[in-house]
Every structure is written in structure tokens, then in C-alpha cells.
Amino acid sequence: MAKNRVVDDWFAMETVRARLLEPSGESVERTIQIRKSPVSGRTSRIAFSRINETEAGTDRLPPPPPDAGQKERCPFCRPQVLERTPRLIPEIHQDGRISRGQSLLFPNLFPYGAWSALSLFDERHYVEIGTASEKSYADCLINCADYLKRIKRHDPSAVYMAITQNHLPSAGGSLVHPHLQVQADAVASNHHRFLAQRALAHRQATGRGLFETYVQRETAMGERVIGRTGPWTWVAAFAPEGFFEVWAICPGKSSLLAVEEDAWHHLAAGMIRIQKLYRSLYRNGYNFGLLSVEREDSALEIRAVMVVRSNYAPWVRSDHTGFEVMLGDMATFTAPEETARLARKFW
């Protein structure tokens, strides 16, 4: 095994070459690139030799889920949504639910923390990837921010906040009806705790924000920058921990609760463009996440993350194998620079 180490003061990677004999007897080398994230310090691997591998269910967009037409059985569809979903306590909202446009927010019947809610973003039962309207997404995001502001006023200790999405069961979604999850808790998640520590250490060492520095370095290089929507800079993650991982960074802003209404619209516009990228790759599942630590001394700036997931279709392989689960390194097949090139078509 030959190694070629390339170290940048910000972006570090190693190239590993595995030697083997083909079934024909020919001697060949396979290249694997190991990258270290300047944000998390975690490594990920890009196995370039697998890029042309035939994977079941990715040669065309899969058909809709089996229950895509079962609106009458869905607890999130009207009219049953008002009868089958829980209500917020009066201290949070007198009406029990928060509505804006087509978005309706209510508590999660199966909470993951002290304050868990769901926010619907389209009145249709099933919305194919990349086809939602910008307004429906923006209304939903603003609804989530409104809820989190109310939680912060009612429970100041619930500073660890998140907005997430699981699109289809392959991404962890239990219902196909489009919705976001929103969370606030006094107990930090692993990512909250770890990223807050990394951001604080960077600020103490340099006097600057971690993601502010990241955006400036990426912009100077240009290889992975996709484009901008308002205050958000969209980049392909240098050391991806998911397939076709894309970040939207709002440098200099550390509070999710301080994001202006226009900025939510700009974020929604970018989210739909990335969904269209995933759709062009014949993928139908994805995850979205946005974290914040709502303390005045927080050094963690706002960053949204999107990753494509294995297709929701019969006999499709999971994107997490024993390597990811047991070794802790994500192994993807496509260079982030190629992800950026593909995504720029949608800007």
C-alpha cells in the first residue's frame, strides 16, 4: 500500500493506493482519498473505484411509495390532521397549533426531547423530491423558528435547538406526508456539544468564527463553492459524511432565532435546488439539518446540511455499511468537487 500525504493548513487529505491482481492476472491500483474535515476533525473516505459500480434502483427515479395515494389514512392530511394530532400547551400557543400559509405546526406525538414538534410544509399528501414550492418550505421554516422563539421565552434552559427533515423511510421518515422536525432541549446532542466546542476553540485561537473562516477559505479556492442564495453560501462538503453532502452557511450569525424572514426564503430556494440535483441523480431520499446553541456566548454559527440517502425502493442497498457503523468513517464514491460541479447547474 502506497501513501501520498497532502497537507494544507486547512484542508488535509491523504491518498492511499491499494494494489491487487485482477481476475485476469493484471496488476492494478485502486485509489482511495482520505480527507479530514477542518470543522469536525473527522475523516471520511472517497473510494473512486466504486463510482461506476452498478447499484440497484439508481438508474432511474423510483416510483412513488406504495402509500403515496392513501391520503384518507394519513394523520397529517386534512381534515383528519385537526383530529388526530396533539396540541401545544397554552403556555406556548393558545390555539394549540401554529399555522402559516400551508404550514401547520404541532407537538410530536413521540417526542425525542423536552420540546419536540412537527411542522407540515405542503397540504399535498406526497410531494416528490424537488417539486415543493419555495413558499411552502419558507413558511414551514418560519413556523419552526416561531415555535423555537416561544420555547426559548417559556423555557430559557432549552438552548440546544434543531430543525431537521427525513424525506421518505430510507432517510428515517415514518410518514411520507412532507414535514420538518423541530427540537429544543436543555441537554445537548452529541453534534451540538462537539461542534460548539470546536467553534469556541477556533474563536479563542483566532478571534474569528469557524464557519466564517471556512466560507472564506472555500471561496478563495473556488473548487467546492456552488453558489449563493441571499446570506447563505452553498458548498460541497470537503470531507463528506454522507453522499453528495452540501452545506449552506450563514457566516457571522450564531442564532437561529435571529435569522430574518427573507433569509428563510433564501434558504428554502437553495434547498429546492439541491433537491433537484438529487432528483437528477435519480435519488428520492434525503436528510436536512440545521443546529444552533441559543446562548449569548455561543460561537457556533448557523450551517444547514443536506445529504442524499439510499433510494426508497425494493432491494436498494443502505448507504451505511459495517464500515461506517463500526469504523466511524463515511465512505462515499464521488469527489466533492464533482458534487459542486453538478450542483452549479441548478444555480
Residue 142's contacts (CB-CB under 8 Å, 6 or more residues apart) are: 100, 103, 261, 264
Between strands 43-47 and 330-332, the pairing is parallel
Q: What is the mean pLDDT of residues 49-55?
A: 78
CB atoms near residue 121 (< 10 Å): 29
**Which H or E run includes 337?**
helix 336-343
- Helix residue ranges per DSSP H, 92-169: 134-154
Please write the tens of the pLDDT for every residue from 24-39. 999 999 999 999 999 9
Report the alpha-carbon distance of residue 335 to residue 319 in Å, rounded: 16
Strand locations in 263-323 (E):
285-293, 302-309
- What is each CA distance from 21 to 10, 26, 27, in whole angstroms? 36, 5, 5
- pLDDT in the model for residue 2: 46
Residue carrying the nine cell digits 400551508 = 102
Q: Residue 204, Cβ neighbours under 10 Å: how many?
A: 9
**Three cell numbers written together for 9:** 493548513
Angstrom distance (rounded) from CA 326 to CA 267? 34
The pTM of the full predicted model, rounded to 2 decimals, is 0.95
- The answer to whether residues 151 and 92 touch, using CB atoms and an 8 Å cutoff, is yes
pLDDT in tens, 179-230: 999 999 999 999 999 999 999 999 999 999 999 999 999 999 999 999 999 9
C-alpha 311/C-alpha 315 separation (Å) is: 9
- For residues 105 and 117, the answer to whether their CB atoms sit within 8 Å is yes
Radius of gyration of the chain (CA): 21
CB 283 within 8 A of CB 307: no
The tens digit of pLDDT for each residue in 94-148 reads 999 999 999 999 999 999 999 999 999 888 999 999 999 999 999 999 999 999 9
| pLDDT above 90 (res 304) | yes
Backbone angles phi, psi at 252, to 5 degrees: 85, -10
Among 244, 335, 239, residue whose Cα is nearest residue 286: 244
With cell 485482477, the residue in question is 22
Contact of 257 with 163, CB cutoff 8 Å: no
Q: Dump strand ranges (E) for the chain.
A: 2-7, 12-21, 27-36, 43-47, 98-100, 103-107, 115-120, 160-167, 179-185, 225-229, 232-236, 243-250, 285-293, 302-309, 330-332
d(CA 309, CA 171): 6
First to last CA, the chain: 41
3-state secondary structure of 128: coil
pLDDT of residue 51: 80
Return the minimum-mean-pLDDT range out of 6-20, 138-152, 233-247: 6-20
Average pLDDT over residues 277-302: 97
